[in-house]
Amino acid sequence: MTQPLVAFPLSEEQRRLQELVRGLADSTFRDRAARWDEREEYPWENIKDLVQHNLMGMTFPVEYGGRGGGVLEAVLAIEAAARVCGVTGRILVDSNFGAVGAIAHYGTEAQKRAFLPLVTRDGDKPAIAITEPNAGSAAADMTTAAMRDGSSWVLNGVKHWITGAGVSRTYVVFCRFDGIAGAPGVGALIVPSDAPGLTVKRRERAMGMRGIPEGEVVLSDCRVPSENLLVGPGGFSRLMSAYNGQRLGASAVALGLAQGALEAAVAYAGKRKQFGRAIGTFQGLRWMLADMAMDVESARQMIYRTSQNAGTGLPDQHAVAACKVAASEMAIRVTNQALQVFGAKGYSRDCPVERMVRDARMFTIAGGTVQMLRNLVANRLLGRTDRAAD
């Protein structure tokens, strides 16, 4: 583990948590990471370890099986896991933020007691179902419809690129209520994976993060009880506020991938010899490593500070947008530079940096493209309150 260039004030408890996850990552996750990628398998073995150490749902209150930790604690764990296995880091995101974060912040007591223990006890990774074939960045254009039928809600629609489709036991489905147009008509229902009318269809053949399925979820007269209403129509902005945690978690995965690639490049530059000396003694490579380290540290300080400011609540939308743009673009640069340090060896699938390059590429796209997020940052700068450019 390379030492950070700029120390960030962590409590003793936070440092112990960081060390715990780093130890797990180095002793178990590292050796398994290539398997999940090559076989496109979900890492159930890793999830068993995460449950055993109370890392799934660590941000939940203790009464629901969590640690009662804050956003920064979750980010520290996500980064530490992702530095050797991006898939495991991504699962930690979904077990603390996103869909499950919406339930934890907005759910009824009955909903929390029904669905949160599935995460902490059973290792469920709840899926957030927003994207549709014709509603990506323009999420408020979604057509998935929810209609009331007696004591039930009936859902019809198709969700696309759903992370965890087929392995998640719980879906938070964004949908349009009673045909109300635009964002005012959007709310969300909690839909168990075994709900009648829910079918997981095609799995995407993704470039990276292959251990987590990305799939299509079809809702055909899918019926859930009325008490599964999480947020009703008019709650789109509240749901997106919960999604800010997901974006910050994604930033932490990108950070962890870059940190892992940097560590690998530094170690290799110290032992690989050409022209009779270690390649790390050549100025060209030394400057590359220095730039990589400064890139990583800049993103880390933004992410940690935004996490610390959030406490146990929801992080600021505009700060998160800046974090995700900075971290995702940084991770692409740093993992590619690390591959360059390895030369031909880095281009081999036997080198973990090759996998990190592919895994990092998704973060400028998924969870809000960097172009859309730059509009959010610009809105803060210009004092805009409308969503026209979001």
pLDDT number for residue 384: 79
What's the rounded Cα separation, in Å, for the pair 311 and 27?
A: 30
Buried b (16+ CB within 10 A) or exposed e, 16-32: ebbebbbebbeebbeeb
Distance CA 149, CA 307 (A): 41
Q: With CA atoms as reference, report the closest residue to 4 among 286, 270, 263.
A: 263
Residue type at position 273: K
Tell me which CATH homologous superfamily contains domain 12-120: Acyl-CoA dehydrogenase/oxidase, N-terminal domain (1.10.540.10)
Distance separating alpha carbons of residues 44 and 76, to the nearest angstrom:
21
Of 192, 33, 230, 44, the residue nearest 122 (C-alpha): 44
pLDDT single digits (tens) 28-48 = 999 999 999 999 999 999 999
pLDDT digits (tens, 9 = 90+) for 72-117: 999 999 999 999 999 999 999 999 999 999 999 999 999 999 999 9
Residues of the chain with pLDDT under 50: 388-390
Domain locations along the chain: 12-120, 127-234, 237-382
Cα(341)–Cα(25) distance, rounded to whole angstroms? 23
What are the two backbone dihedrals, phi and then psi, of residue 124, each rounded to the nearest 5 degrees?
-65, 145
Look at residue 7 in the predicted model and tell me its pLDDT: 85
Between CA 175 and CA 188 the distance in angstroms is: 6
CB atoms within 10 A of CB 98: 27
Nearest to 122 by CA among 67, 61, 193, 57: 57
pLDDT of residue 388: 42
Q: With contact defined as beta carbons under 8 Å apart, do 222 and 196 qualify?
A: yes
Q: Which residues pair with 148 in a beta bridge?
A: 153
Q: Which residues lie closer than 8 Å to 9 by C-beta, 6 or more apart?
A: none
CA dihedral 248, 254, 257, 263 (to 10 degrees): -90
Distance from the Cα of residue 290 to its chain's centroid: 27
DSSP conformation letters of 146-165:
EEEETTEEEEEEEEEEEETT
Report the topology of domain 237-382: Butyryl-CoA Dehydrogenase, subunit A; domain 3 (1.20.140)
DSSP symbol at 11: -
Would the CATH topology of 12-120 be identical to that of 237-382? no
Element (H, E) at 201: strand 198-203
What pLDDT shows up at residue 390? 44
User: Which residue bears the tokens 């032992």?
Assistant: 271
Sequence letter at residue 336: N
Place of tokens 């992410």: 303
CATH number of 127-234: 2.40.110.10
Q: Regarding beta strands 127-129 and 170-177, do their DSSP bridges make them parallel or antiparallel, or are they unpaired?
A: parallel
